[in-house]
Structure 1
Amino acid sequence: MNQIVLTTLNARYIHAAFGLRYIFANLAELQAQTVVREFTIHETALNIAEKILAEQPKIVGISVYIWNVSEVTELVGVLKQISPELVIVLGGPEVSHPPDLPAVCELADYVVTGAGEKSFYDLCTQLLQRQTPLNRMIEGVSVPLPQLASPYQYYDAEDIQNRICYVEASRGCPFKCEFCLSALDKTAKPFELGAFLDEMDNLYQKGARNFKFIDRTFNLKVKTSVAILEFFLARMDDELYLHFEVIPDNLPDDLKEVLKRFPDNRLQFEIGVQTFDPEIQELISRRQDNQKTIENLRWLREHTGAHLHTDLIFGLPGDTLENFAESFDQLVALNPQEIQLGILKRLRGAPINRHTDEYQLRYNPVPPYNILSTRDISFSDMQRVNRFARYWDMIGNSGRFKITLPTILGDRPFERFLTLSDALFNASGSTWKIALKRLFELVYEVMVGTLLVDSEQSQTVLREDFLRSELKGRLAFEETKPLTKQKVGKGIANKRQKMHQ
């Protein structure tokens, strides 16, 4: 029997709950009566509740995020019906900004807002000693980083073999981009480098090879970034793979030199461009040198084998279809492997909420609180861009249509792909559950019938991509064409990234 269960619902099994491991690492003597149990949002609330209650806990701590708040609400309701005496404590970003709180907070006994490593321990100590805390809303107390116990030893063999190991060399962010909760941070604070690298070495020796850094600004302190990259270069093998979130306009020569030494497909950079529009950047307090961003993205593509996952956000205050098209076209010209088209979401506590009235920002009332319309973007156009984003992920980001994509985009990428997106939706009625072979055939029909691409040219590029995808059978337009088996390139990158080679 464990007195305390720490749990959450991850988006997918491959994700590991880094925050829970930090909470567990800092429970001191309470660790002996605590267990971490992770689930996914795809499991039923009844099955999850059964597994939690099998531990016979007195306290259940649950991490709540924008991607799992609906499922957590259902789970908490079930737990309280079955075991009303169970003490449920919520924490995480989705419940950390009172009075703007989701309904699940009314079902819980306590809510810890903000940092939880110390506050959750203090709360559990009181509860297990049969003391009643004065407030059910508990403000989290931040602990100086050197005083935090490390979570990395709590990645077990299953995590290391089958999950992503999340790590952080620094915490916080010095920038104030209003769409992001990190805008509430005062600055970025680094962990002591020597101790951090010792922890990374321990993980590596245990077999960890997939490291995802959650630092908001990995390349903020170049000396530290170079030291971390050198550490992994010295341990480079056929399986090592690193993911970093980087600032797009900060790529000095020292950093460039070490990046050039990495083998292809061992680095993934998540690069938040968000918008190239200077007026919107100023409006949302985003400091970004657009010219340096362009130069750095171009340099990374030309001189490194890093996989570039770039981000744009649609629906920001002041956004229109026209200025978003300009940002998209500029980014396409820089040729990153992926462009993630994010739709603005209302994050609780984010400073961008101050623009809601002036720009008539209208959000979905249910998670993930995506924007529905603005002063300058109609609901109809927002729906079109939502579909655009989904089809772009299937066609542009997947790498399946690498040969075909330039023909689709031509010299007006946003305009032509929006036309393709509209026509695909009219033909299929869906952006989901389209078989890949059927998608190739639909794209052919739209290229020829709507984009007016030459039929033979369309067949040629689509056939080459179809063969690269190693799909079986023939496409409807090539029943008499001979097939020659082709394979995608080799490399450590995952299958999606190999398609971009």
Structure 2
Amino acid sequence: MKILLAAVNAKYIHSNLAVYSLKAYAGDPAVEIGEYTINQQKDDILMDIYKRQPDILCLSCYIWNLDYIEEIVLEIGKLRPDMPIWLGGPEVSYDAKEVLRRLPCVKGVMKGEGEKTFKEICQIYRNESEKKEKNVDNSWKKSESVDNRLKNVTGITFRTEENEIIDKPWRPIMDLSEVPFVYDHIEDFEHKIIYYETSRGCPFSCSYCLSSVDKRLRFRDIELVKKELQFFLDHKVPQVKFVDRTFNCKHDHSIAIWKYIMEHDNGITNFHFEIAADILNEEELKLLEQMRPGLVQLEIGVQSTNPKTIKEIHRVMDFEKVSKIVRRIQDKGNVHEHLDLIAGLPYEDVESFAHSFDDVYALKPEQLQLGFLKVLKGSFMQEHQEEYGIVHKAHPPYEVLYTKWISYEDVLRLKGIEEMVEVYYNSRQFTNTMEELEKEYDSAFTMYDRLASYYEDNGYNAVQHKRSARYEILLNYIRLHHKEKEDLFREVLTYDYYLRENAKSRPEFAGEYLVEKDVARTFYEKEEETHTYLPDYGKYDRNQMRKMTHLEYFKLADTYILFDYQNRNPLNQEARVCKVKAGTGQR
């Protein structure tokens, strides 16, 4: 007997921790895993599942893959009407009966936490298979045996052979330390993000989220966690992304983990945590300040700075305290910070959202994620959507279309701003240019809003652009709106470009290259002798150094800048830069 656990991930680099946990807990050699992505053709996934010839098919369902999975399920059901199909995951747990009515080829849904449930189902089908092989009783019928035993399983909703839908209660929570470690064969996860879980549930009750629905927060044994962290460190895993919803909600737990990874740092592995910044205590902050640059990165959900909105979504967040802590962490310059906002929340119109945007943007995080409300099944927000006048898309990810406070036209406007933030802020390719451009506007929101309108007016949104083209577009925008400062912005754009890019050919927007040949030759000849500016380049000759660096003259500042690409900032990958003093052969 073969049981296939199939996961359709958002990207190739993702892995599905859930299916690996189910397989590990079941301990059944008959269980196989198939991982796919939503970027694959559905037919390719369908063919692969069919060729594997599973006896039981189980699929993991989320907002990003449900449409994919439903279509695949309907087709595989035609090809294999004899094969039981089970679904699990948050996207089918809260309306399991409706899922079975919509998908008549599906046998059942595993609701919520699935390890114990999946193990029981595996045992039922294995016993059935063994019975059939031994032909213990010629009068035995599969349907009677399986259905009768499924009636004793909690945490499922299933369909009997008579097409009756039986809805069993949710299963009591399990001890998280009972879940086996799934990465023993780490070689199977090469080029994948490693997801790791040390807690389930959340102490907060945000109305748009499902993590706190069951109110049952629990943690993995800390000694077990340390052992598993050491495994990642020993294998020099590039990144471990903690999926704990609020990692620092239990201070002794977070402190123990941060101490361990700091004391056992291998100089390579990065750890990602989702935290509530305003509950960080002094001990946690001091630990963060001691971290190697790049050892940890923090994702901090702000969502809104409108007090009425924060109260309405049942969120506990002191933005003034968040701001102080975010800036304190930034002052040390060793931790990447990612801040989130959500558009479409109650009591948040465009004016209010613009204020929230400017508040968060002023903190200058490495990433500012502008998302849109998703009305998740089972959430408080779904239950009260009529009260808020929320209308959302009928299909996953159930994104908001409009509310009492924000129109669809407003949503489209914010979508344009979101794209501009992704291109010109989150890419970290225009950092200095955008800081300079901000000086021309009353608010950052207005700046990105006008830039988004420029893109729309010129049809740029419908075109895929090379990186250098984004610089040219921005320079054209500046020519149109800030003509008197074109030369300044050309130089700042050029600086930003070479800060990240050791380009073989000069981009058009940068204009003429002003470093004369004899100046560059003299500089690198002297560097070969003295290594004044490139002390780490002792083993390289002048020609090699020239290829590994870039020398640029900025006319307005009358300054030569050397970009060193072998020494980059571990947080943002910017090249080390230094001013080259006069008297070293330059004009």
TM-score of the two chains, using structure 2 as the length reference? 0.79
Aligned equivalents of 2:318, 2:199: Cα separation in 1 = 23
1:225 aligns with 2:254: yes
Distance in 1, Cα, partners of 2:482 & 2:348: 26
Answer whether contact 2:74 2:103 (CA < 8 A) is retained.
Answer: no
Aligned position for 1:43: 40
User: Given the superposition, is the C-alpha separation of residues 154 and 256 from structure 1 closer, same or farther in structure 2, using an over 3 Å criterion?
Assistant: same
Which among 108, 119, 122 is matched to residue 124 of structure 1? 122
Structural mapping, 1:322-337, within 5 Å: 322-337=351-366
DSSP 3-state at the match of 1:310: strand
Say if 2:243 and 2:273, in contact at 8 Å, map to a contact too: yes
Corresponding residue for 1:248? 277
Corresponding position: 1:447 with 2:450: no
335-344 vs 228-237, greater mean Cα deviation: 228-237
Q: Distance in 1 between matches of 2:124 and 2:11?
A: 34
**Match of 2:428?**
399
Q: In the alignment, residue 21 of structure 1 is paired with which amino acid?
A: Y
Equivalent residues in 2 for 1:205-354, closer than 5 Å: 205-354=234-383
Deviations 1:401-459 (A, max 9, x none): 01111123234111111111111222234166222121111111112313666211221
Bigger mean CA offset, 67-76 vs 479-488: 479-488
Shift of 1:121: 1.9
- Pair 1:157-2:168 in alignment: no
Return closer, same or farther for 1:106/1:317 CA change in 2, 3 Å cut-off.
farther
Distance in 2 (CA, whole Å) between partners of 1:321 and 1:358 is 19
How many matched pairs?
494
Of the structure 1 ranges 437-446 and 205-214, higher mean CA displacement relative to structure 2 is found in: 205-214
Partner AA of 2:50 in structure 1: L
Q: Distance in 2 between matches of 1:171 and 1:47?
A: 34
Could you tell me which runs of 5 or more consecutive residues in structure 1 were left unpaired when the two chains were aligned: none
- The aligned counterpart of 2:573 is 498
2:451 matched residue in structure 1: 420
Find the partner of 2:87 among 80, 86, 90.
90
Deviation at 1:310, TM superposition (A): 0.5
1:278 CA displacement: 0.6
Is 1:408 the counterpart of 2:437? The answer is: yes
- In structure 2, give the amino acid aligned to 1:177: C
1:482 aligns with 2:514: yes
TM-fit CA distance, 1:154: 4.8
> Cα deviations across residues 297-336 of structure 1 (Å, max 9, x unaligned)?
1111112411001100011011111111111111111111
> Structure 2 CA distance, aligned partners of 1:329 and 1:234?
38
Distance (whole Å) between structure 1 residues aligned to residue 456 and residue 438 of structure 2: 18
Counterpart amino acid of residue 86 in structure 1: M
Residue of structure 2 equivalent to 1:382:
411
Superposed, 1:168-179 pairs within 5 Å as 168-179=197-208
Deviation (angstroms), 1:127 = 3.1
Between 62-71 and 484-493, report the one with greater CA deviation: 484-493
Partner amino acid, structure 1, of 2:120? D
Query: Structure 1's 67 and 500: CA in aligned 2 closer, same or farther, altered over 3 A?
Result: farther
Is 1:32 the counterpart of 2:7? The answer is no
Describe the SS at the equivalent of 1:372. strand
Please tell me whether residue 201 in structure 1 is matched to residue 200 in structure 2.
Answer: no
Which protein is bigger by CA-based radius of gyration? 2
Q: Is the contact between residue 118 and residue 142 of structure 1 (CA under 8 Å) also seen in structure 2?
A: no
Q: 1:396 to 1:146 in 2, by over 3 A?
A: closer
Shift of 1:490: 2.0
Counterpart position of 2:75: 78
Q: Which moved more, 1:66-75 or 1:118-127?
A: 118-127
Range with greater deviation from structure 2 (344-353 or 130-139): 130-139
Shift of 1:389: 0.7
CA distance in 2, matches of 1:388, 1:104: 37
1:257 is paired with a residue of what secondary structure? helix
User: Is 1:183 aligned to 2:209, yes or no?
Assistant: no
CA-CA distance at 1:464 after TM superposition: 1.2
Q: Any conservation in 1 of the 2:236–2:266 contact (CA below 8 Å)? A: no
Q: Judge conservation of contact 2:241–2:271 (CA < 8 Å) in 1.
A: yes
CA–CA separation in structure 1 for the residues paired with 2:575 and 2:200: 32
Q: Is the 8 A contact 1:100 1:349 kept in 2?
A: no
* Contact 1:95/1:111 (<8 A) preserved: yes
Of stretches 104-113 and 234-243 in structure 1, the one that deviates more from structure 2 is 104-113
Deviations 1:191-244 (A, max 9, x none): 111122112223333443421111111111222211111111122123110100
Tell me, yes or no, if structure 1 residue 111 matches structure 2 residue 109.
yes
1:500 to partner: Cα distance: 9.9
- Contact 1:100/1:348 (<8 A) preserved: no
One-letter amino acid of the counterpart of residue 96, structure 1: S
Residue number among 394, 399, 402 corresponding to 1:373 in the alignment: 402
* Residue 153 to residue 439, structure 1, CA distance change in 2 (3 Å): closer
1:457 partner amino acid = L
The equivalent residue for 2:584 is none
Larger relative contact order (C-alpha < 8 A, sep ≥ 6)? 1
Task: Provide the C-alpha distance between the structure 1 equivalents of 2:223 and 2:463, rounded to a whole number of angstroms.
Answer: 47
Structure 1 stretch displaced more, 324-333 or 450-459: 450-459
The secondary structure found in structure 2 opposite 1:380 is: helix
Distance 1:140 1:27, change over 3 A: farther
Say which SS state the counterpart of residue 369 (structure 2) adopts.
strand
Q: Which runs of 4+ in 1 moved over 6 A?
A: none
Contact 1:164 1:212 in 2 (8 A): yes
State the shift of 1:341 in Å: 0.3
1:8 touches 1:63 (CA, 8 Å); kept in 2? Answer: yes
1:469 match: 500
Asked whether the equivalents of residues 195 and 243 of structure 2 are also in contact (C-alpha less than 8 Å), the reply is yes
8 Å contact 1:112–1:138 — kept in the other structure?
no
RMSD of aligned C-alpha atoms? 2.3
**Structure 2: stretches of 5+ with no match in the other structure:** 129-141, 152-157, 160-166, 516-549, 552-562, 577-587
**Matches of 2:447 and 2:177, distance apart in 1:** 54
Distance in 1, Cα, partners of 2:182 & 2:575: 33
Moved more, 76-85 or 328-337: 76-85
CA deviations 1:136-191 (Å, max 9, x no partner) are: 355542442156231334553131x3212111121110100001111313142111
Letter in 1 for 2:112: G
Measure the CA separation in 2 of the matches of 1:491 and 1:407. 21
- Change in Cα spacing, 1:235 to 1:384, as seen in structure 2 (3 Å) is same
AA matched with 1:114: G
Distance 1:420 1:435 in 2: 18
- What residue identity is the alignment partner of 2:447? R
Return the offset for 1:45.
2.2
Aligned partner of 2:585 in structure 1 is none
Tell me the alpha carbon deviations over residues 98-143 of structure 1, each in whole angstroms, 9 at most, x when there is no partner.
1685686444221112111111222232233241234335554244
Shift of 1:382: 0.5
